[in-house]
Amino acid sequence: MVAFFVQISDLLVLLVVFSLIVIAYLFLKNITISILVGMVGMILFYGIPIEDFFLSFLPGRAFTLPMLFFFLVIIGVMALSSLLKEAGLVDSVVRIVERRVRYPWSLAVFPAVVGLLPMPGGAIFSAPMVARADRSERLSGAQRAVVNYWFRHLWEYWLPLYPGVLLAVELSGMSTLSFMRNHAVFMVLALVVGYVVYLRSVISAEGGQRSGEDDEARDGLRAPFLEIGIVLGVYVLGSVLFPGVRGGRYLWLALGVWSAIAVLLVRTGIPGGKVRGVFFGKRLWSLVLLVMLIRVYGFLFEFPADGGTLAERIAGSLSGAGIPPVVVLVFLPFIAGLVLGIAVGFVGVSFPVVMGLLSGMGVERVGPYVMLAYVAGYIGMMLSPLHVCFVVSSEYFESHLFRNMRLLAVPLFVIAAGAGGYFFVLKALGW
């Protein structure tokens, strides 16, 4: 027994550090400070030389062209989502949906459209739309809350407008297109499962009444479809036509996002004061600081120490003790998602470990394992009582948070089972 614990000592220390992050978050309710606590714990417990890491090792990893473009994307995406809201383009989408989509599909479309914008607590913006769509009150408060919550999160499995997806792409080393290709199937699965579980039993002939064509044309011009199309169009064309450009993994995405911001500002005329408020606001730069700390936290696992990098040592501990690495690949992201309730949090905390394990295992095609880890973390996040969207949606519809979790059990079980089967499909395809 003693030999077993000696064998997994590096893993045990990692679990202690992980516990520190969780405890710090539970008490402080601040993921940035919690990550910082975990970094300090790793440096102390693993005896990482501070001067060697910060002055010699870190600059070569952090101050690179791809990293610059990565942070330009993070800043641009958050700014774009805030500017779209300031311009009133979300309201235009709501009016279009009301004219064209019949009940009960409108219950899903409203939160799904709002979900295109990666804003924390975005479910609170779609909740009034869901309530308005369910005028006949065929659904209970708990059902409304869960419908709003579930369809709000269709996109975060794969869409690179979300910081969690961008961070997963960065930490995994996959191309953005490969990550999107591997994960987009879960949006389809979630949509189908959501319809079967939540909407199929709701039968109604009601439909939104269309307004005049002039109003519809005006709202169509003000909808954010142009900006979203610019982001995706520039990225896809740049990646296909110029695949070898230095920093290309984020270069084209950065160009797309900032081009969309420029077009948005020109065509909507958002007041300068609101624009400054977005770019100099606390929310944007708090997220940038969080992502910076997460990257430094990840680099700690790549620091060369006795017996190889820290990630290689942990992987060796697992193999020596006979613990299947896939257990850790699923367990750590799930727990991180459950206790942190945010995608960028569970990715930042668990993916450095996941990628280190895959490196230690000698895995070359990481796509199936990344998918498994990300979906496990996502399921934990969706069940988390700390997930802001879950909390605000439950409160808005005056329903009990923990009782609402039961309504999520079946759909999330299907997602988990789908991920297990899809893992072998991806391996067979070599993706």
In a domain, 262, yes or no: yes
* 12 within a domain of the structure (yes/no): yes
Q: What pLDDT score does 204 carry?
A: 46
Please state, in angstroms and as integers, the Cα–Cα distance from residue 168 to each residue in 49, 200, 330, following that order.
27, 34, 15
> What does the DSSP assignment read for 266-305?
HHH---HHHHHHHHT-HHHHHHHHHHHHHHHHHHHTTSEE
Closest by CA to 382, choosing from 421, 413, 349, is 413
Q: Which segments of the chain have a pLDDT < 70?
A: 1-8, 90-91, 93-94, 98, 117-122, 124-125, 135-136, 203-224, 247-249, 306-308, 311-312, 314-321, 339, 386
pLDDT of amino acid 248? 63
Would 402 be classed as within a structural domain?
A: yes
Predicted pLDDT of residue 25: 76
Number of domains in the chain: 1
Q: What pLDDT does residue 311 have?
A: 67
Q: Could you tell me the CA-to-CA distances from 387 to 122, 341, 405 in Å, in that order?
A: 11, 4, 12
Residue 213 located in a structural domain: no
Q: Does residue 17 form part of some domain?
A: yes
Q: Look at residue 207 and tell me if it is in a domain.
A: no
Q: Is 210 inside a domain boundary?
A: no
Backbone angles phi, psi at 208, to 5 degrees: -70, 140
- Domain with 98 in it: 2-202+218-429
- H or E stretch covering 309: strand 308-309
Asked whether 419 and 374 are in contact (CB, 8 A), the reply is no
pLDDT for position 208: 42
pLDDT, position 213: 44
The answer to whether residue 118 is domain-embedded is yes
